[in-house]
Amino acid sequence: MTSPSLEDVLRTAAPQVLGAVVRRYGDFDTSEDAVQEALLAAAQQWPVEGVPDNPRAWLIRVASRRRIELLRNEEARRRREALPPDPIPSVRGDDELTLLLLCCHPALPPVSQVALTLRAVGGLTTAEIARALLVPESTVGQRISRAKKKIRGTGFVMPSPSELPDRLIAVRQVLYLIFNEGYTASSGSSLHRVELSTEAIRLTRQLHGLLPGDGEVAGLLALMLLTDARRPARTRADGALVPLAAQDRSLWNRAAVDEGVEIITAALRDTALGPFQLQAAIAAVHDEAAHAADTDWAQILELYRLLNAVAPGPMVTLNRVVALSEVDGPWVGLRALEQAAGDPALANHHRVAAVRAHLLERAGDLAAARDEYLRAARLTLSLPERRYLESRAARLR
Amino acid sequence: MKYLILIQSNERSLAIWDKMTEDEQMAFGQGHLRLSAEMGEAGVLVASEGLADPSLARFVSVRDGDTVVSDGPYAEVKEHLAGFYLIDVAGAKEAHEWAAKVPDAATIGVEVRPVLDMSGWEF
């Protein structure tokens, strides 16, 4: 067992300390300033004086003192009530959860929820978030300060039991967004973005620890682990995309696969079923096949049928068509695809063209497949995907 | 999702510009400055710039390893890029809402193009 680095200790403690200070004094903004200063003091003093026995209590004490000073400065203008006595440090597990729920407040647009969560709960600096999201630091700064203004005056309390389920949906969605933002990065400035998926997994793991009975949080964590496990095989050295069927599975991260399988298996057995669990189950079926040819497509098709019943959507429809054609052949798939393409959400969608091209190629109509690959390449917004689709078309010339 | 809002200058827009009073032209320019500030405050602005006159454009090419800089073959071009806004928003709908606020949207219109990203996908 190596001891965690100072940075790890501070990062883990930051949201707990912020939660404790906000709960006691309110005012997210001032509390955050105070916590930042306490973290700074720790980073300077601990390497010299040693890490205190209870680092978190130390940080809460220093941040509280600083928070009181900041409060006094405000009070000096207003001369109001006496200060609360120097608080006894305590952290309740639900402080972190409350903080996460506050960052995903329904009054905030998703981009702001993401920025605020990374800042307050993840402890990333504005510069780090900006690098990861590929936007200027000033843009991230504005998103965060606007978000703080919007939730000012919102009490630091757990949402009521009737509100909680909806808020948790938002929290899961934000964590999923953060994960995807990092996972889909594939080159260039990708290093900073890859950290986002690691961060999303870390935060989701924490949430799973706080809410072990929430099957959808478990499903989300499993989905992230099972997806992230494929990262080493997803791109070639030149940045080109490798689709699932062509990936070298020996490169997958086995430890992450095993952990993901274990979590989703337990969640499916012990909790109420939900869309994240079904997606994780599908990812698990893929990851359990030693070779693409060994994939249990019948089981995947069944899982997509369930997913379609629980959370229908254009992408579920399309993926179900792919699974169906793996089970019953390309012609059956093509017929199902024409039905699916009637959905306005899928009209002119590049994924429809990509799937159609793939099925036409398997059915042996190479000229039509080539045209569809090129059409899909024109319609996609993803550069690696465009390169991949163009290369598929070129092979059929 | 990043979107680029493109503002063109062409004979039609120049004719409209020439018909404007000085105050109207001033207001038009201020409208751009105000919009940039508004985008900045909303946390969606990545960059926005107006481009200098096309007569200042230079054509750069590399032949046999030598870089050649020349006046472009653009003298005859009737339309050129006059400026742009690069924004980062949730999706197309929001990008179109911002584009509608560009002063040129009320004269000749503006073009909105999604930016390719580096995301991948898996079957």
Q: Output the DSSP codes for A135-146.
A: S-HHHHHHHHHH
Does pLDDT of A306 surpass 80? yes
Does pLDDT of A2 surpass 60? no
Reduced to 3 states (helix: H, G, I; strand: E, B; else coil), residue B2 is: strand
- CA A317/CA A278 separation, integer angstroms: 14
Instruction: Report the pLDDT averaged over residues A265-274.
Output: 95
- DSSP-derived secondary structure letter, A117: I
How big is chain B by its Cα radius of gyration, in Å? 17
Instruction: Report the pLDDT averaged over residues A309-336.
Output: 95
- Alpha carbons within 13 A on the beta-carbon side of A91: 20
Does pLDDT of A152 surpass 90? no
Residue B121, chain A, CB below 8 Å: the answer is yes
Residues in chain A within 8 Å Cβ distance of B92: none
Placement of tokens 């990509």 in the chain: A354
Encode pLDDT of A92-145 as tens digits: 567 888 899 999 999 999 899 999 999 998 888 898 889 888 889 999 999 999
> How high is the pLDDT of residue B67?
95
B42's CB contacts (< 8 A; 6+ apart) are: A142, A146
Q: Which among B38, B79, B73, B44 is positioned nearest to B58, based on CA atoms?
A: B73
Share of chain A above pLDDT 90, in %: 52
- CA B78/CA B119 separation, integer angstroms: 37
Encode pLDDT of A241-269 as tens digits: 888 999 999 999 999 999 999 999 999 99
Searching chain B, which residue's CA lies closest to the CA of residue A388?
A: B120
Reduced to 3 states (helix: H, G, I; strand: E, B; else coil), residue A52 is: coil
Distance of CA A1 to the CA centre of its chain: 28
- CA A135/CA B35 separation, integer angstroms: 18
> How high is the pLDDT of residue B9?
92
- Of A3-17, A141-155, A196-210, B37-51, the least confident: A3-17
A188's CB contacts (< 8 A; 6+ apart) are: B118
Does B123 contact A245 at a Cβ distance shorter than 8 Å?
yes
> How high is the pLDDT of residue B75?
58
Does pLDDT of A1 surpass 60? no
Does pLDDT of A85 surpass 60? no
> How high is the pLDDT of residue A367?
97
**pLDDT range class, residue B76, cuts 50, 70, 90:** low
Does pLDDT of A289 surpass 90? yes
Does A383 contact B42 at a Cβ distance shorter than 8 Å?
no
Does A243 contact B45 at a Cβ distance shorter than 8 Å?
no
CA distances from B90 to A195, A299, A347 (A): 22, 35, 20
Residue A356, chain B, CB below 8 Å: the answer is no
- CA B52/CA B27 separation, integer angstroms: 19
| Interface A-B: count of C-beta contacts within 8 A | 81
Searching chain A, which residue's CA lies closest to the CA of residue B115?
A: A381
> How high is the pLDDT of residue A300?
97
CA distances from A37 to A70, A305, A367 (A): 11, 52, 65
Residue B70, chain A, CB below 8 Å: the answer is no
Does A136 contact B46 at a Cβ distance shorter than 8 Å?
yes
Measure CB to CB from residue A142 to each of B40, B47, B116 and give the nearest one. Answer: B40
The answer to whether the beta carbons of residues A142 and B37 sit under 8 Å apart is: no
**Backbone φ and ψ of A186, nearest 5°:** -135, -5
Whole-model pTM over 0.75:
yes
> How high is the pLDDT of residue A23?
82
Can you read off the two tokens belonging to residue A300?
């995947």
Reduced to 3 states (helix: H, G, I; strand: E, B; else coil), residue A279 is: helix
- DSSP-derived secondary structure letter, A120: I
**Backbone φ and ψ of A275, nearest 5°:** -60, -40
Nearest CA to CA, how far is A198 from chain B (Å)? 17
- DSSP-derived secondary structure letter, A382: B
Searching chain B, which residue's CA lies closest to the CA of residue A112?
A: B43
| Angle made by CA atoms A343, A279, A210, in degrees to the nearest 5 | 130
- CA A179/CA A173 separation, integer angstroms: 10
Nearest CA to CA, how far is A200 from chain B (Å)? 17
- DSSP-derived secondary structure letter, A219: H
> How high is the pLDDT of residue A81?
52
The answer to whether the beta carbons of residues A368 and A360 sit under 8 Å apart is: yes
Instruction: Report the pLDDT averaged over residues B45-66.
Output: 92
Residue B45, chain A, CB below 8 Å: the answer is yes
Residue A383, chain B, CB below 8 Å: the answer is yes
Does pLDDT of A87 surpass 80? no
Q: Encode A29-42: b = buried (16+ Cβ within 10 Å), e = exposed.
A: ebbbebbbbbbeeb
The identity of residue A261, as a single letter, is V
Measure CB to CB from residue A184 to each of B42, B45, B120 and give the nearest one. Answer: B120
Searching chain A, which residue's CA lies closest to the CA of residue B116?
A: A381
Q: Which among A336, A331, A338 is positioned nearest to A308, based on CA atoms?
A: A336
Residue B92, chain A, CB below 8 Å: the answer is no
Does A139 contact B46 at a Cβ distance shorter than 8 Å?
yes
CA distances from A64 to A28, A58, A76, A315 (A): 13, 10, 18, 48
- Domains of chain B are 2-114 (3.30.70.1060)
Q: Which among A315, A347, A319 is positioned nearest to A333, based on CA atoms?
A: A319
Does A187 contact B88 at a Cβ distance shorter than 8 Å?
no
Q: Which among A323, A269, A273 is positioned nearest to A300, based on CA atoms?
A: A323
